[in-house]
């Protein structure tokens, strides 16, 4: 491993290839576009395929087809493109097909889309929210492993900063992708009497009945989602979160600034702490509850109208008051460039909230 | 295809899976020698009428090709049979 | 050997013949499992799908084939097939087929989609897949109606055809004109072989099988192929099963004309 200064998009692309991704399809959209460009360059060098799909719907469909053959596949977009993919994401969960999906988001308004299952039906998928390119690189192998282990799409939530900031990163060498799992399709079980099926409507062919039994299948999917939720250890970063009067929570890029502000205040003796969920689903409920045990208040900063704050309230079940100190912070581009993102601004908001305790 | 007086020559025959049939009549229409006829009173356990075979089948397989429900198994005799 | 039934002298057909005979057609081809299916009496779709799997078996592609299915009446029927099946969402089979074939170029990939699936929901997908010249075969089962939802207008419904949302018959002023998809696909440079056929009588079933075989050979040679198969839907057409073949040839086939639309092999 050698440290290199790479723009986030390039680092993410290299990390995906290093994690064994050999198929990518995407549609250009700011700030996701550069990831597609880098994958188009990298994948052929590693015997993989990158397709510039004609729409986001087709991008997720192509990744679905590739994943069905047991190839590590990924797609991505920004929030609007993810909206177009939601039907497919929901059905990928029912079809038990692994895939990594990137949201290079504009600001943080897509938290609900990511964690509430933005598509139809009752489903969840794991969501990882790195705070910068370096963390995205370190989490990428995990994303693909979680996808394979639980046979589910996994969302990696980045943003404009992550995509377009150059950072010193260590990208692992590209290893050999794992062999195709036994459920994967390659045609070879044709004519055997047990030719395979991969479907969002059922797990096995029901030859002597009339088609699929959706009721039985959806119950099974619900069980799988439950097992997945319980089987994934939530990840988070914490800094003095269990001995603070005010615990400040943030996620993604703003988390870096909030942590720096908390550290500054802590260094001057102000009893504040910091907690940053890294898995947005499963949400680190237990860590939040531990943090709030001795806290007078939990403050939440995010660049939206208040979305993760709902999960904080749900985790606390009223054990501590929760205050929103975030909000929209945009420049004229609308791409989620937040003028608020500076330590002094964060510190002032935190101090204000501490003053009310 | 004439045989002796009162006899018809069959070059082939079919086995009919009565229970698979849904009474659609397509086989009757498709049969070139016109030797399939649907029952009028008898029905299978699902309530569908089903085809019966008259003498004169040529084993051409048209019925099997057109049937949506895989009702027919088609045989060609080694020597045409006079069916009585 | 003759027994009396309903006043007729009929041949006994409950078991194989005693006299020496050769089996020329078994109940189902090897790739269709014996089992019931819930498709309507007189439905053309099982006939068409039978032709597809027979062609796959005859070309020796059984252990390479992956059928990518759309959503329609035929979806449930995929349960009866002994080839590998990848189920797609409505309209989306061509993009899945693209992903499969690009990831595993050694497989044989065919989509099975209805007209509602392919021409309504999925028009963009099949056109882009053809334009890119992906080495897959897209098969449309065209009955001019959304059968599974009960008989509604699609982009291929012909003028004058009665459906649940065109009870007086489709008219151009209110409902526009049908899309003749095979002709549209043929205009795309990436499409190598485009044909239209039907399953309304045994002769046309045989012709359908020939077009499919040629289409599959084109895929084997690396080109995109497209076969549109007109199928009967007496339920969706509100007619008797026995009238469906003539309805197909007189109405559907009069607009969506059978024949080889494009064959780039010279």
Judged by 3 or more CB pairs under 8 A, whether C touches B is: yes
- What confidence score (pLDDT) does residue A211 get? 77
Q: Give me the architecture of the B14-74 domain, per CATH.
A: 2-Layer Sandwich (3.30)
Residue B28, token pair as written in the block? 């009757």
- C79 has which bridge partners? none
Domain ranges of chain C: 28-263
Q: Any idea what DSSP says for residue A202?
A: B
Query: B43 and chain C: CB distance < 8 Å anywhere?
Result: no
C50's CB contacts (< 8 A; 6+ apart) are B70, C28, C29, C32
Answer yes or no: are the C-beta atoms of B57 and B35 closer than 8 Å.
yes
A68, A87, A191: residue with CB nearest C30: A191
At residue C145, what are phi and psi to the nearest 5 degrees?
-160, 155
Chain A closest-CA separation from residue C52 CA (Å): 14
DSSP C141-162: EE-SSBTTTTSB--TTPPTT--
CA Rg value for chain A: 21
Comparing A324 with A117, the larger pLDDT belongs to A324
Task: Say if residue C174's pLDDT is above 60.
Answer: yes
Contact C120, A231 (CB under 8 A): no
Whether C147 has its CB under 8 Å from any CB of chain B: the answer is no
Which of C10, C38, C52 has the most B C-beta neighbours within 10 Å, making it the best mutation to test the interface with B? C10
- What pLDDT is recorded for position B5? 56
Checking if the pLDDT of A105 tops 50, the result is: yes
Strands B72-83 and C21-25, how do they pair? antiparallel
Which of B10, B26, B78 is nearest residue C42 as measured by Cβ atoms?
B26
- Contact A121/A87 with Cβ under 8 angstroms? no
Longest dimension (CA), chain C: 63
C89 contacts on A by Cβ (under 8 Å): 61, 87-88, 91, 200
CB contact under 8 A, C45 and B15: no
Q: Answer whether B77 touches C (CB < 8 Å).
A: yes
| Rounded distance between C-alpha atoms, residue A214 and residue C94, angstroms | 24
pLDDT tens-digit profile of C125-170? Answer: 999 999 999 999 999 999 999 999 999 999 999 999 999 999 999 9
Instruction: Report the pLDDT value the prediction gives residue C54, as an integer from 0 to 100.
Output: 97
Interchain CB distance below 8 Å, B83 and C11: yes
**C-beta atoms of B41 and C6 within 8 A:** yes
Whole-angstrom distance, CA of residue A62 vs CA of residue A286 = 38
Helix crossing, A133-150 with A214-231: angle to 10°?
140
Nearest to C76 among A62, A197, A211 (CB): A211
Do residues A306 and A257 lie in contact, with contact meaning Cβ atoms separated by under 8 Å?
Answer: no
- Both tokens of A146, joined, read 């979680």
The Cα–Cα gap between A101 and C45 comes to 36
Torsion sign across C-alpha atoms A318, A321, A326, A328: positive
Residue A348: partners with Cβ closer than 8 Å, 6 or more residues away: none
Cβ contacts (< 8 Å) between C35 and chain A: which residues? 207-208
Question: pTM for this one?
Answer: 0.95
Q: C3-31: per-residue pLDDT in tens?
A: 999 999 999 999 999 999 999 999 988 89
Residue A124 has which token pair?
């969840």
Name the residue of chain C whose CA is nearest to B32's CA.
C202
Which of C5, C10, C25 is best to mutate for the B interface (most B CBs within 10 A)? C25
Looking at C59-138, list the stretches that DSSP marks H as alpha helix, in order from N- to C-terminal side. 73-77, 93-103, 115, 123-131
pLDDT (tens digit per residue) in A263-279: 999 999 999 999 999 99
Nearest to A53, CA basis, from A70, A33, A30: A33
CA distance A314 to A309: 9
Burial of A96 (0-12, 13-18, 19+ CB in 10 A): middle
Q: How far apart are the first and last CA of chain B?
A: 14
Q: What is the pLDDT of residue A1?
A: 60
Give residue C166's Cα distance to chain centre. Answer: 24
Check pLDDT > 70 for residue B4. no
Helix (H) or strand (E) holding C235: helix C234-237
In the predicted model, is pLDDT for residue A209 greater than 90? Answer: no
Q: Which of A262, A266, A310, A313 is nearest to A292 (CA)?
A: A313
Token output for A290: 């531990």
Above 60 in pLDDT, residue B1?
no
> Residue A228: pLDDT band by 50, 70, 90 thresholds?
very high
Question: Chain B residue closest to C19 (CA)?
Answer: B77
Could you tell me which chains touch chain C, where touching means 3 or more CB pairs under 8 A? A, B
Q: What is the percent of chain C with per-residue pLDDT over 70, rounded to a whole number?
A: 99
Q: Nearest CA of chain C to the CA of A49: how many Å?
A: 7
Cβ atoms of A106 and A160 closer than 8 Å: yes
| Whether C123 contacts C237, CB under 8 Å | no
CB-based contacts of A108: which residues, under 8 Å, 6+ apart? A159, A251, A252, A254, A302, A303, A304, A307, A308, A336
- C47 contacts B28? CB cut-off 8 A: no
Instruction: Give the bridge partners for C111, in sequence order.
Output: C68, C138
pLDDT band at B6 (very low <50, low <70, confident <90, very high): low
Spell out the domain ranges in chain B: 14-74
Q: How far is C85 from chain A (nearest CA, A)?
A: 5
Helix (H, G, I), strand (E, B) or coil at C108: strand
* Side-chain-side CA neighbours of residue A249 (13 Å): 31
CA distance to partner chain C, nearest, from residue B69 (Å)? 7
The reply to whether residue C2 touches residue B62, judged by beta carbons under 8 angstroms, is no
Cross-chain residue pair C11–B81, CB shorter than 8 Å: no
* Residue C83, both tokens: 């080839």
B20 lies within 8 A of chain C by CB = yes
A 10 A CB-CB count for A129 gives 31
The reply to whether CATH 3.40.50.970 applies to domain C28-263 is yes
* Cβ within 8 Å of residue A170, ≥6 positions away: A1, A2, A3, A134, A137
Interface test with C, best of B24, B68, B71 (most C CBs within 10 A): B68
CA distances from A138 to A165, A175, C16, C162, C186 (A): 16, 15, 68, 60, 48
State the smallest CA–CA distance between residue C117 and chain A in angstroms: 15
pLDDT of residue A157: 98
Do residues A9 and A164 lie in contact, with contact meaning Cβ atoms separated by under 8 Å? yes
Q: Chain C, 35-74: which have a CB under 8 Å from a chain B CB?
A: 36-37, 39-47, 50
Both tokens assigned to A281:
């689903």
Q: Do B74 and B12 contact (CB within 8 A), yes or no?
A: yes
Top residue of B3, B65, B77 to mutate, by most chain C CBs within 10 Å, is B65
Q: Which of A198-207, B55-64, C45-54 has the lowest mean pLDDT?
A: A198-207
How far C32 CA lies from chain A's nearest CA (Å)?
Answer: 9
* Residue B12 burial class via C-beta count within 10 angstroms: exposed 0-12, middle 13-18, buried 19 and up: buried
Buried b (16+ CB within 10 A) or exposed e, A195-230: bbbbbbbbbebbbeeebbeeeebbeebeebbeebee
pLDDT (tens digit per residue) in A70-92: 999 999 999 999 999 999 999 99
User: How many Cα neighbours within 13 Å face the side chain of A69?
Assistant: 31
Residue A142 has pLDDT above 90, yes or no: yes
Dihedral sign computed on CA atoms, order A61, A67, A71, A74 = positive
C82–A66: do the CB atoms touch at under 8 Å? no
Could you tell me which chains touch chain B, where touching means 3 or more CB pairs under 8 A? C
């Amino acid at each position: 491993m050698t440290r290199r200064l790479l723009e986030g998009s390039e680092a993410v692309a290299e990390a995906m290839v290093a994690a064994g991704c050999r198929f990518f399809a995407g549609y250009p959209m700011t700030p996701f576009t550069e990831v597609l460009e880098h994958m188009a360059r990298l994948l052929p060098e590693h015997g993989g395929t990158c397709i510039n799909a004609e729409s986001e719907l087709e991008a997720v469909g192509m990744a679905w087809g590739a994943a069905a053959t047991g190839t590590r596949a990924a797609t991505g977009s920004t929030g609007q493109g993810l909206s177009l993919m939601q039907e497919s994401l929901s059905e990928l969960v029912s079809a038990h097909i692994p895939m990594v999906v990137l949201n290079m988001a504009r600001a943080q308004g897509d938290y609900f889309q990511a964690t509430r299952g933005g598509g139809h039906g009752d489903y969840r998928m794991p969501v990882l929210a790195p705070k910068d390119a370096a963390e995205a690189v370190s989490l990428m192998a995990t994303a693909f492993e979680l996808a394979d282990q639980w046979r589910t799409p996994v969302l990696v939530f980045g943003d404009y900063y992550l995509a377009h900031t150059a950072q010193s990163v260590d990208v692992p060498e590209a290893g050999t992708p794992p062999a195709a799992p036994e459920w994967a399709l390659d045609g070879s079980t044709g004519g055997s009497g047990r030719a395979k099926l991969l479907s969002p409507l059922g797990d096995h062919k029901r030859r002597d009945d009339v088609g699929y039994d959706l009721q039985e299948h959806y119950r099974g999917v619900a069980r799988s989602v439950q097992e997945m939720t319980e089987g994934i250890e939530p990840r988070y970063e914490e800094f003095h979160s269990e001995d603070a009067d005010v615990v400040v929570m943030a996620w993604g890029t703003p988390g870096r600034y909030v942590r720096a502000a908390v550290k500054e205040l802590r260094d001057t003796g102000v009893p504040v702490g910091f907690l940053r969920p890294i898995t947005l689903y499963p949400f680190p409920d237990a860590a939040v509850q531990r943090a709030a045990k001795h806290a007078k208040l939990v403050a939440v900063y995010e660049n939206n109208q208040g979305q993760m704050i709902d999960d904080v309230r749900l985790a606390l079940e009223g054990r501590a008051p929760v205050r929103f100190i975030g909000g929209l912070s945009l420049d004229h581009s609308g791409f989620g460039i937040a003028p608020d993102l500076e330590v002094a601004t964060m510190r002032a908001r935190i101090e204000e909230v501490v003053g009310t305790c | 295809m004439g045989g002796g007086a009162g006899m018809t020559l069959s070059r082939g025959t079919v086995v009919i899976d009565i229970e698979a049939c849904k009474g659609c009549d397509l086989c009757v229409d498709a049969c070139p020698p016109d030797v399939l006829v649907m029952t009028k009173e008898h029905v299978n356990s699902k309530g569908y009428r089903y085809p019966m075979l008259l003498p004169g089948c040529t084993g051409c397989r048209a019925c099997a090709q057109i049937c949506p429900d895989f009702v027919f198994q088609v045989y060609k005799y080694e020597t045409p049979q006079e069916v009585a | 050997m003759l027994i009396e039934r309903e006043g007729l002298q009929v041949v006994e057909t409950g078991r194989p013949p005693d006299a020496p005979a050769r089996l020329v057609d078994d109940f189902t081809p090897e790739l269709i499992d014996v089992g019931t299916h819930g498709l309507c009496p007189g439905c053309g779709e099982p006939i068409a799908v039978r032709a597809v799997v027979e062609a796959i078996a005859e070309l020796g592609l059984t252990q390479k084939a992956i059928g990518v299915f759309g959503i329609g009446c035929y979806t449930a029927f995929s349960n009866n097939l002994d080839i590998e099946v990848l189920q797609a969402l409505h309209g989306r089979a061509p993009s899945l087929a693209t992903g499969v074939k690009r990831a595993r170029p050694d497989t044989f990939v065919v989509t099975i989609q209805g007209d509602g699936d392919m021409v309504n929901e999925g028009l963009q997908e099949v056109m882009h897949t053809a334009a890119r010249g992906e080495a897959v075969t897209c098969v449309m089962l065209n009955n001019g109606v959304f059968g599974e939802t009960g008989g509604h207008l699609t982009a291929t419904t012909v003028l004058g055809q009665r459906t649940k949302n065109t009870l007086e018959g489709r008219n151009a002023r209110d409902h526009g004109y049908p899309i003749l998809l095979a002709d549209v696909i043929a205009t795309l440079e990436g499409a190598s072989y485009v044909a239209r056929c039907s399953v309304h009588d045994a002769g046309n079933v045989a012709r359908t099988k020939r077009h499919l075989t040629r289409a599959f050979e084109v895929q084997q040679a690396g080109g995109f192929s497209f076969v549109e198969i007109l199928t009967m839907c007496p339920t969706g057409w509100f007619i008797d099963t026995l009238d469906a073949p003539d309805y197909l040839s007189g109405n559907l086939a009069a607009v969506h004309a059978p024949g080889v639309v494009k064959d780039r092999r010279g």
